A and B are shown apart, each in its own frame.
Chain A
Amino acid sequence: MKLTENALGRFVPVEINGEAQIPFQGVNQYRPNGCKAKPPIRSCIDYPEEGNKVVKSLKDALKKAGLRDGMTISTHHHLRNGDDLTNILFDTIKSMGVKDIRWFPSASFPIHQHLLQYLEDGTIHHIEGSMNGPLGKFTTEGKMKGIGVLRSHGGRYQAVQDGEVHIDIAVIAAPTADPFGNANGVNGKSACGLIGFALADSEYADRVIVVTDNLVPFPCVPWQIQGNNVDYVVQVDSLGDATKIVSGTTEITKSPDRLLIAEYVAQFIEEAGIMKDGFSFQAGSGGTNLAFVLYLKERMKAKGVKARFVRGGSTKYLVELLEEGLTDYILDGQTFDLEGVRSMRENPNHVNTSPFTSYNFHGKGNFASIIDAAVLGATEVDINFNANVVTHSDGYLLHGIGGWQNCLYSKCTILAIPSFRDRIPVIMDEVTTICGPGELIDVIITERGIAINPKRKDLLKALKESSLPIKPIKQIRDEVYEICGGKPAKPVVNKDKVVAVVKWVDGTVLDSVFQVVK
């Protein structure tokens, strides 16, 4: 496999799954040109006049959509770990004897380990999305037929929009839909809040199949997915396990160390001057990120400060901010708990967004760069502030990128992470896989020290008198190495076999994941 060195000094393949690639050229250096991808022209006269696109089964719909070997099939991940539909989809594809599918999910979850058999028997050729748990293990050990591609939520939209990925058939799980194909995620027994990750799929795929377990008469409002883009509607008994689609309540971490980190984050945001009237921030779904919202809320109340908007992943904690008047809006990308779903259904200021509105590289502007602070996690961070979210320090794929890369564009990107886990250093010399270039990462907040990127002289100055434990990142690394018993060895990998690549938000190749040698 031919590799080339990219702008970060990482070796990446020049060709992936038969397609030529562009290596990462540096942040904001690459500008593709030409025209956006376009779906085929369809005409309404080819669809039922009375608007009823319901067909009798998923198999029937796939047949009508022209399913054949080598096609690209997309799914979204709003049903999270309760998603039975994707598993049923591939059972059906298998039963039809179709092979070499490129599966293009917006993310995968543990429930999808059911699909391992289809990776093994060749039904699925490779995955472009995320490869977690057993799927990650399978991929990392070099068993997948093709090379995996990891993209951010924004990167997925970019890839569809500029034609890097052409979706043949989009299968959209819809908690509520009408026979015309209008669909939403806020109603029905499988309600998941919104289904924005399926937006690009509905607009750009050759054929679009909406699958619902709550078919209502036309019109299904709100129509988060427009029926005008939909070819077929399939009714099923159940999309999945509602208790795993959204959690009943989202729990704040109880770990004293994580809470300490969260407290530091809130103090940092106030002392850096970010917390002022009309500001905005993004909070992830991890326990530390949720806890930071509570601490920041106390500080906002004490100072009488109100945010203009917050970005979710929404949970009841963001909903409380909205309902207590501490923010004007929630701009929501996905809904994590029942309170989030309720709020989105009832409150017009809890706004449904998609990767198009939030993160899109080919948009005329980027929401992500308007945000004052984003608080994110990472599995590893190196002394140049480069960070990793996709692989474990043993070289195995661990989880997807999500919106993480896109959020790095915020005005102040904060990684709130422990400095080590058990005996695994998190702050280290060189990350296993680069997912985020250090120049976009401003602050690392750990339980044993806070490192500010030397590029951010303004932050260093603002925090000069702070009581926070601000230290050079190398000092934190030294402390961590001392605790863990020295510098960790790197995983043994086969440098000739790339099993997956990490794309940057512009579609260039940021880094490679190599086959782990056991």
Chain B
Amino acid sequence: MSQKPIKVSAGKRGDKVRSDCFVEIEQKTTGGIKINLISKVNSMYGESIRAFLEEMCAFFDLKNAEISVEDSGALPFVMAARFELAVKRLCPELTKEFLLPINKKNSYKTTKERLRRSRLYLPGNEPKFFMNAGLHEPDAIILDLEDSVAPSEKDAAQLVVRNALRAVDFYGAERMVRINQLPKGKEDLKYIIPHNVHVILVPKCEEAVQIIELEDEVMRLKKEYNIKDDIYYMPIIESAKGVINAYNIASASENNCALAIGLEDYTADIGTQRTDEGKESYFARTMLVNAAKAAQIQAIDTVFSDVNDMEGLRKSVLEAKALGFEGKGCIHPRQIKIINESFAPTSEEIEKAKKIVKAFEEAEKNGIGVVALGSKMIDAPVVKRAQRTIHLAQINKLIKENWRETEEK
């Protein structure tokens, strides 16, 4: 570690800052560690904050430094990220990581076919939004390292997101991270792969080779850190080239779980603007649904950006559902409920699905390999689709868990 006195800082301060902190480290040559703490929660947590700062100083082998912290009620996972960033800005060559224990409540895994109706975007460097995100019951949360993070704060967001993946309880939501555009996005992987991520969102994906290269890096890191859990990818198509290559991208890896479309960049790329009617993106969206289905993965629609227009959102989801999409991005927690409700099956869809599922179960019970409904044969994908419809109906409380029994009465 360099011994000449230098001063670095990290984090946020100011009247409007909440649940965050500002850390300044001035390296000295003598005098030991001096901590200046101004904290909004001093009387409640002042002592534990001081102990925490001392623990981090010892961990990073800081011997002589003046540490100044302005704390606006930062939770421990945030303070740790800000402190570590300051240390790394002081000593960029440092590779040591101050890792918080993995929250036991976050041990749940994911599956390729999991529901992904609503995915809530959380700006990666705004930890104040993280703690309660899962309470709004999105199917997934997306910790974003890309567009919502200022270029100068990319390093800050990497640490906040890493710490959040380990420490924050997302109440059963699938944990997604949107990395930066490749190849730069590869740099983000070491902050997420060893730390409990479920799905990696790959923005502005244009070619299958990008996914193949990403997968090589993911596999290398999984091996290095001995990660056994599945990690899936969701390429986001946001350009004309990406749309044309959609099927190749969707089928580039067994670990792709969905293909998503981002229309803001796409419409700019084809030289037009988004309209409410959406004629300009009709081709791209149907192409994307087709490519995803051909690769047997989910098709996910773009975000609806007017957070005050709930009726517009509902219409947009119903339209997306009619086109074959199975999910939509959310930029505000209030959109989640409407999205989940709107992706729910209609009563006709439920009735049909019930018949198919019953016929399938009947056939299974009787050891018959072929499922038939009346004179019509039913293929396996149709049965799977019907089971999914029943599942969706149940979680939307449209039918009961024991619908078979109540039916017969």
Partner-B contacts on A (CB < 8 A): 256-257, 259-260, 393-395, 421-425, 447-448, 467, 483-486, 488-492
Q: Is B209 an interface residue (CB 8 A)?
A: no
Residue of A nearest to B18 (CB): A422
Are B48 and A486 in contact (CB-based, < 8 A)?
yes
Q: How far is the CA of A490 from the CA of B136 in the complex (A)?
A: 32
Residue B227, interface by CB 8 Å: no
**CB–CB B43/A395 < 8 A:** yes
Which chain B residues have a beta carbon within 8 Å of chain A's beta carbons?
18-19, 40-48, 72-76, 128, 131-132, 135-136, 169, 332-334, 397
A423 and B41 in contact (CB under 8 A), knowing A467-B397, A485-B76, A486-B48? yes
A421 to B40, CA, bound (A): 11
List of B residues within 8 angstroms of A490 by Cβ: 43
29 A-B pairs (CB sep. < 8 Å): A256-B136, A256-B333, A256-B334, A257-B135, A260-B135, A422-B19, A422-B72, A422-B128, A423-B19, A423-B40, A423-B41, A423-B45, A423-B73, A423-B75, A425-B44, A448-B135, A467-B397, A483-B75, A483-B131, A484-B45, A484-B75, A485-B45, A485-B48, A485-B75, A486-B48, A489-B43, A489-B45, A489-B47, A492-B43
Return A118 CB to nearest CB of chain B, in Å.
28
B43 touches A393 (CB 8 A): yes
Which B residue's beta carbon lies closest to that of A420?
B131
Residue of B nearest to A259 (CB): B334
From A257, A425, A467, residue with most partner B Cβ within 10 Å? A257
Chain B residues lying within 8 Å of A395, measured Cβ to Cβ, are: 43
| Distance of A490 Cα from B45 Cα, bound (Å) | 9
In angstroms, how far is the closest chain A Cβ from the Cβ of B90? Answer: 25
4 new A-B contacts at CB < 8 Å, known A422-B19, A423-B73, A448-B132: A259-B334, A394-B42, A424-B40, A488-B45
Return A363 CB to nearest CB of chain B, in Å.
40
* Closest chain A residue to B75, Cβ basis: A423
B residues less than 8 Å from A484 (CB atoms): 45, 75
Q: Are A393 and B18 in contact (CB under 8 A)?
A: no
Residue of B nearest to A392 (CB): B43
Specify which of A447, A485, A486 is in contact with B132 (CB 8 Å cutoff): A447
- B46: chain A residues at CB < 8 Å are 489
Q: How far is B42's CA from A492's CA once the two chains are assembled, in angstroms?
A: 11
Residue contact A393 to B40, C-beta cutoff 8 Å: no
Verify B74–A447 contact, CB threshold 8 A. no
Q: Least Cβ distance of B53 to chain A in Å?
A: 13
Query: For residue B19, which residues in chain A have a CB less than 8 angstroms away from its CB?
Result: 422-423
Complex Cα–Cα for A485 and B44 (A): 10
Residue of A259, A467, A483 ringed by the most chain B CB atoms within 10 A: A483
A491–B43 CB distance below 8 A: yes
Instruction: Give min CB distance, B193 to chain A, whole Å.
Output: 26
Query: How near does chain B come to A469, taking the closest CB pair, in angstroms?
Result: 9
Question: Measured between alpha carbons, how far is A464 from B14 in the docked complex, in Å?
Answer: 45
Q: Is the CB of B132 within 8 A of A423?
A: no
Count chain A CB atoms within 10 A of each CB in B128, B135, B169, B332 and give the residue with the most. B135
Contact B135 A394 (CB under 8 A): no
Check B132 against A424 for contact (C-beta < 8 Å). no
**Distance of B130 from chain A, by nearest CB (Å):** 10
Query: How far, in Å, is B131 (CB) from chain A's closest CB?
Result: 6
Q: Which A residues lie within 8 Å of B75 (CB)?
A: 423, 483-485
Nearest chain B residue, comparing its CB with the CB of A493: B43
Nearest chain A CB to B22's CB is how many angstroms away?
14
Which residue of chain B is the closest to A446 with respect to CB atoms?
B135
Q: How far is the CA of A424 from the CA of B76 in the complex (A)?
A: 12
Bound state CA distance, A112 and B176, in angstroms?
Answer: 50
Report, nearest first, the 9 A-B pairs whose CB atoms are least far apart.
A422-B73, A488-B44, A256-B333, A423-B73, A394-B43, A491-B43, A485-B76, A422-B19, A423-B41
Q: How far is the CA of A6 from the CA of B268 in the complex (A)?
A: 71
Q: How far is the CA of A452 from the CA of B136 in the complex (A)?
A: 21
Instruction: State how many angstroms separate the Cβ of B408 from the closest Cβ of chain A.
Output: 23
CB distance from A516 to the nearest CB of B (A): 8
In the complex with contacts A256-B333, A422-B19, A467-B397, A393-B136 CB distance below 8 A: no
B72 — which chain A residues lie within 8 A by C-beta?
Answer: 422
- Contact partner of B73 (CB less than 8 A), chosen from A256, A260, A424, A447, is A424
Which residues of the other chain, B, contact A257 by a CB distance below 8 angstroms? Answer: 132, 135, 333
Determine the chain B residues whose CB is within 8 A of the CB of A394 once the complex forms: 41-44
| A487 to B, closest residue via Cβ | B44
In the complex, are the beta carbons of B41 and A424 less than 8 A apart? yes
The answer to whether residues A423 and B74 also contact, given A256-B332, A488-B45 and a CB cut-off of 8 A, is yes
Cα-based distance from A425 to B41 in the complex (angstroms): 10
Flag if A393 contacts B132 (CB, 8 Å).
no
Nearest residue (CB) in B for A257 is B132
Min CB distance A288 to B, Å, is: 14
Q: How far is the CB of B81 from the nearest CB of chain A, in Å?
A: 14
What chain B residues lie within 8 Å of A467 (beta carbons)? Answer: 397
* Contact residues in A for B169 (Cβ distance below 8 Å): 483
Contact check, B41 vs A260: say whether CB atoms are below 8 A apart.
Answer: no
Alpha-carbon separation in the docked complex, A256 to B121 (Å)? 14
A483–B18 alpha-carbon span in the complex (Å) = 15
From known contacts A447-B135, A484-B75, A485-B75, infer whether A422 and B333 are also in contact, taking CB-CB under 8 Å.
no
Q: Are A260 and B136 in contact (CB under 8 A)?
A: yes
Task: Determine the chain B residues whose CB is within 8 A of the CB of A488 once the complex forms.
Answer: 41, 44-45
User: With a CB–CB cut-off of 8 A, which chain A residues contact B74?
Assistant: 423
Complexed CA–CA distance, A486 and B46 (Å): 12
Complex-state Cα separation, A260 to B134, whole angstroms? 12
A22 to B101, CA, bound (A): 52
Which of A256, A425, A488, A489 has most chain B Cβ within 10 Å? A256
B333 CB contacts on chain A under 8 angstroms:
256-257, 260
Q: What is the bound-complex CA distance between A488 and B40, given in angstroms?
A: 13
State the CA gap A393–B332 with chains docked (Å).
31
Q: How far is the CA of A514 from the CA of B169 in the complex (A)?
A: 37
A424–B72 Cα gap in the complex (Å)? 11
Q: CA–CA, A447 to B169, complex, Å? A: 14
How far is the CB of A455 from the nearest CB of chain B, in Å? Answer: 27
Residues of chain A with a CB closer than 8 A to B47's CB: 489
Tell whether, in the assembled complex, residue B332 and residue A422 are in contact, meaning their CB atoms are under 8 Å apart. no
Instruction: Compute how far the CA of A492 lies from the CA of B46 in the bound complex, rounded to whole angstroms.
Output: 12
Which A residues are in CB contact (< 8 Å) with B131?
483
Separation in Å of the A251 CB from the closest CB of chain B? 13
Bound-state Cα–Cα, A251 to B46, Å: 35
**What is the bound-complex CA distance between A488 and B43, given in angstroms?**
8
Say yes or no: A422 contacts B40, CB within 8 Å: yes
A336 to B272, CA, bound (A): 47
A384 to B40, CA, bound (A): 27
Residues of B within 8 A of A489 (CB): 43-47
Q: How far is the CA of A486 from the CA of B40 in the complex (A)?
A: 16
User: Please, how many angstroms separate the alpha-carbon atoms of A483 and B170 in the complex?
Assistant: 12
User: Residues of A contacting B332 with CB < 8 Å?
Assistant: 256
Q: A299 CB to closest chain B CB, in angstroms?
A: 15
- Whether the Cβ atoms of B135 and A393 lie closer than 8 Å is no
- Chain B nearest CB from A350 CB (Å) reads 29
Q: How far is the CA of A260 from the CA of B42 in the complex (A)?
A: 29
Which residues of the other chain, A, contact B136 by a CB distance below 8 angstroms? Answer: 256, 260
Question: What residues of chain A lie closer than 8 Å to B135, measured between beta carbons?
Answer: 257, 260, 447-448
- Name the residue of chain A whose CB is nearest to the CB of B129: A256
Q: In the complex, what distance in Å separates the CA atom of A425 from the CA atom of B75?
A: 11
Which residues does chain B contribute within 8 Å of A447, judged by CB atoms? 132, 135
CB neighbours of A421 from chain B (8 A)? 73
Could you say which residues of chain B place their CB within 8 Å of the CB of A483? 75, 131, 169
**Complex Cα distance A421/B131, Å?**
11
Across the interface, which residues of A come within 8 angstroms of B44, CB to CB?
A: 393-394, 423-425, 488-489, 491
